[in-house]
Amino acid sequence: GQGIEQSLLATIHEAAVADGARAIEGSYIPTKKNAQVKDLYPRFGFSPTASADADASAFRLALPSTLAVPAWITLE
C-alpha cells in the first residue's frame, strides 16, 4: 500500500525492457499470508493467462508498457 510492490514491478519492468523482453509474466499462489496482494498483477495492467498449475493464477504484461516507480520513492 506504500508503493513497494509497484517499485519492485517497475524495476523488473525496466530491466526487462532494457534486455529486449517482449513480456513479463508472473503468478499468484493464494495463501493466508499473501491474500492482500491477490489483485497485484491486474492492478498494474497484467492480463490473466492460462496457468499450468491449478493452484496458481498466471498473469502477463506485454512490453513495452508504462510502469513507473512512485514519485515518493527513491531507489538507490
Q: State the pairing for strand pair 47-49/57-62.
A: antiparallel
pTM metric for this prediction: 0.80
Name 13's Cβ contacts closer than 8 Å, sequence gap at least 6: 24, 61, 63, 65, 67
Predicted confidence (pLDDT) per residue in 36-48, tens digit: 888 989 988 999 9
Predicted confidence (pLDDT) per residue in 11-65, tens digit: 899 899 999 999 999 999 889 898 888 898 998 899 999 876 778 899 999 998 8
pLDDT at 3 over 90: no
One-letter identity of residue 17: V
How many other C-beta atoms lie within 10 A of the C-beta of residue 60?
Answer: 15
